[in-house]
């Protein structure tokens, strides 16, 4: 295995994104008090706080039906545009789910928003884990690797529609003949993120995506994924940027931070967590190799939707900053963050953690700082 720490380390400052709470119930399946709203007023203010705090990106989520503590969900593209209209620099990544969306509609929507916002919109192409919602809306539910075959065609179609004057494409899922989208997005083209960590996800990232988003994990396990993705990307003459999820709990002492996580888990809703755990077996576990998101998640892990406790950004600002440098050493370009009380914790994170990260980066990384 190549050494991820030396071969894939980016020299740019690590970037920060936050999960937009456009879905009710927050980012944990727990009855703990959460001072987080899912309405547009709360979210506009949160986006402005995040922009001022040093966050470069915000990520909206897409769900079409209720489940597992998320009773209400605003649609991702419309919601992303509302946040872009309320901010000046923040880039907003809109989740897009093949099936409900086809590339024609997605290309048109995103090109328009791109033109209206000086190019600040990006997309997160998600391949689906929730078979129940597909059943509810009458969409066929494809096998795991077929979903990725469709997603890859979706991305190739998007890129062709956005860049070619006359686009012709004959895929198994999508077809175009001399299609001319006008207006096109302004350059640079909208960034394409993708979520998932199965073999099919890693292969797709290496071939067509700009960014690979993965669930929470340790630096060692992230480094293994990075090695695989970057090794395959290098064979195609490409480099993929890497984003990892984390649920951050920054408190003045480690004991206070741990106590918050203990309370989240103690107040977890067991039926909802177990039902979610059952449903996500349609993701990584359903892949031919049995790897991928949630393939090895415990009950405690599943209380945070995307395994965010595993990344262990739980402790004092200093501990968190050092662990972020460890992730950077593992090849991570962006940390995607969820919080319990979003507005106040995003502000705290920007004030107390990001400056420490920047100081460690200026000193040349964690190892030198620790020495």
Ligand X SMILES: Cc1cc2nc3c(=O)[nH]c(=O)nc-3n(C[C@H](O)[C@H](O)[C@H](O)COP(=O)(O)O)c2cc1C
Residue 305 C-beta: closest distance to ligand X, Å: 9
Residue 216 C-beta: closest distance to ligand X, Å: 9
**In this complex, which beta carbon is closest to ligand X, that of residue 87 or of residue 304?**
304
**Cβ-based neighbours of 355, under 8 Å, separated by 6 or more:** none
Residue 6 C-beta: closest distance to ligand X, Å: 26
**In this complex, which beta carbon is closest to ligand X, that of residue 27 or of residue 126?**
126
**In this complex, which beta carbon is closest to ligand X, that of residue 311 or of residue 316?**
311
**In this complex, which beta carbon is closest to ligand X, that of residue 176 or of residue 305?**
305
Residue 166 C-beta: closest distance to ligand X, Å: 31
**In this complex, which beta carbon is closest to ligand X, that of residue 134 or of residue 349?**
134
Length of the chain: 371
Which is it for strands 167-170 and 175-179: parallel, antiparallel or unpaired?
A: antiparallel
**Which phi and psi angles does 80 have, rounded to 5°?**
-60, -45
**In this complex, which beta carbon is closest to ligand X, that of residue 230 or of residue 311?**
311
Interaction site with ligand X (CB under 6 A): 61-62, 95, 97, 124, 126-130, 195-198, 201, 213-215, 245, 283-284, 287, 292-293, 306, 336
Residue 282 C-beta: closest distance to ligand X, Å: 8
Residue 340 C-beta: closest distance to ligand X, Å: 18
B/e letters for 16-26, b = 16+ CB within 10 Å, e = fewer, are: bbbbbbbbbbb
């Amino acid at each position: 295995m190549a050494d991820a720490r030396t071969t894939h380390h980016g020299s740019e400052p690590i970037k920060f994104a936050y999960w937009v709470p456009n879905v009710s119930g927050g980012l944990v399946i727990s009855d703990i008090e959460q001072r987080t709203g899912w309405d547009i007023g709360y979210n506009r203010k949160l986006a402005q706080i995040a922009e001022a705090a040093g966050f470069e990106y915000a990520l909206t989520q897409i769900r079409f039906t209720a489940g597992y503590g998320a009773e209400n969900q605003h649609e991702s593209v419309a919601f992303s545009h509302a946040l872009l209209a309320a901010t000046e620099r923040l880039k907003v990544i809109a989740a897009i789910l093949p099936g409900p969306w086809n590339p024609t509609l997605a290309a048109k929507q995103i090109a328009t928003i791109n033109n209206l916002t000086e190019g600040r919109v990006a997309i997160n192409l998600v391949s689906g884990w929730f078979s129940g919602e597909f059943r509810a809306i009458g969409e066929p539910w494809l096998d795991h690797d077929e979903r990725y075959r469709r997603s890859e065609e979706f991305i190739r179609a998007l890129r062709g529609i956005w860049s070619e004057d006359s686009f012709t494409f004959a895929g198994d899922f999508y077809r175009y003949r001399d299609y001319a989208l006008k207006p096109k997005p302004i350059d640079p083209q909208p960034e394409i993120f993708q979520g998932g960590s199965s073999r099919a996800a890693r292969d797709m990232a290496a071939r067509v995506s700009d960014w690979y988003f993965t669930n929470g994990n340790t630096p060692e396990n992230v480094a293994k994924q990075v090695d695989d993705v970057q090794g395959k990307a290098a064979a195609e003459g490409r480099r993929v940027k890497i984003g990892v999820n984390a649920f951050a709990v920054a408190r003045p002492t480690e004991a206070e931070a741990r106590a918050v996580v203990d309370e989240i888990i103690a107040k977890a809703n067991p039926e909802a967590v177990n039902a979610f755990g059952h449903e996500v077996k349609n993701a990584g576990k359903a892949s031919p190799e049995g790897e991928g998101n949630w393939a090895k998640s415990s009950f405690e892990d599943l209380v945070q939707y995307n395994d965010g406790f595993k990344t262990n950004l739980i402790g004092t600002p200093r501990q968190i900053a050092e662990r972020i440098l460890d992730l950077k050493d593992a090849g991570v370009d962006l940390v995607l963050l969820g919080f319990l009380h979003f507005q106040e914790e995003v502000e705290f994170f920007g004030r107390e953690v990001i400056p420490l990260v920047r100081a460690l980066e200026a000193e040349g990384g964690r190892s030198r700082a620790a020495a």
